[in-house]
Amino acid sequence: MMTQNNNWLMSDYFAGIKAGTPIWLSMFAFGIVAGILGVKLGLSPLDSASMSLIMYTGSGQVATLQLFHEASPPLIILVTVLVVNLRFVMYSASLAPHFEPLNKRQKLIAGYLLSDQAFIVSLLRYQRGEVGSKYRFYLGAALSLWAIWQLGTLVGAFTGAQIPASWGMELAAPLTFLALMFSALRDKPGVAAAAVSGVVAVSAAALPWHLNMLLGALAGVVTGMVLSR
């Protein structure tokens, strides 16, 4: 048994879990915020948790809850979720070459568990080429992040406590993405891509559906490509 345990600690699953740990705190915090919002807008804690299981998308859930609150028709909600989550297509395309050997079931699992955080953690590690089994590493990172998110929404939904703005919980996610951004910067075109993306995303902030984010990212990608030619 001992040797089995040791093997597990050396496994790619465990390496994935470990790589995700620095992000757990902000994932948990965002989960709590989403859980609280659900209850505040009239969902039962159980409904709020089911919603998290079915959708598993923080920005998508928050947008959905707000639209329900404004009594928007279902079609508007579906279109909003589609546009807010279009970035997942970019993530999917980036990870696809690494997941090519997987079978259908594994791909389905990998798809469901895909999050901003799991994508970044895995892709940055793949690019450095330090992973044995890419799928196991991904599963370790993505599944633990998924569990933390679900736990966060549960805690938020059941405590339903108001978190005062002075705590700055909203900052946890951007600060985490900030650290990841610097890890992702490795050449001048990459730095330019980040800079242009940030400026465009801020300038276009008035657009609906978080389109500013998508527009910023696309502008950044084009900038990087032009400069790296």
Residues numbered 49-88 forming contacts with another protein, rule: CB under 8 A:
50-51, 54-57, 60, 64, 68, 71, 74, 77-78, 81-82, 85-88
CB of 139 to another protein, least distance (A): 13
How many residues make up the chain in this entry?
229
Alpha carbon distance 45, 39 (integer Å):
6
Q: Pick the closer one to another protein by CB: 74 or 129.
A: 74
Q: Pick the closer one to another protein by CB: 8 or 112.
A: 112
Among 17, 34, 120, 157, binds another protein (CB under 8 A): 120
Q: Phi then psi for 36, rounded to 5 degrees? A: -65, -45
Burial of 101 (0-12, 13-18, 19+ CB in 10 A): exposed
> Of the ranges 3-11, 94-102, 144-152, 153-161, which one interacts with another protein (CB under 8 A)?
94-102
Subset of 152-171 contacting another protein (CB under 8 A): 166, 168, 170-171
CB distance 60 to 84 below 8 Å: yes
- CA-based Rg of the chain, rounded to a whole angstrom? 19
CB of 9 to another protein, least distance (A): 21
> Which residue from 125, 172, 122 is spatially nearest to 145, judged by alpha carbons?
122
Q: Is residue 122 a contact point for another protein (CB under 8 A)?
A: no
């970044």: which residue's tokens? 120
Among 17, 23, 27, 39, binds another protein (CB under 8 A): 23
Subset of 127-156 contacting another protein (CB under 8 A): none
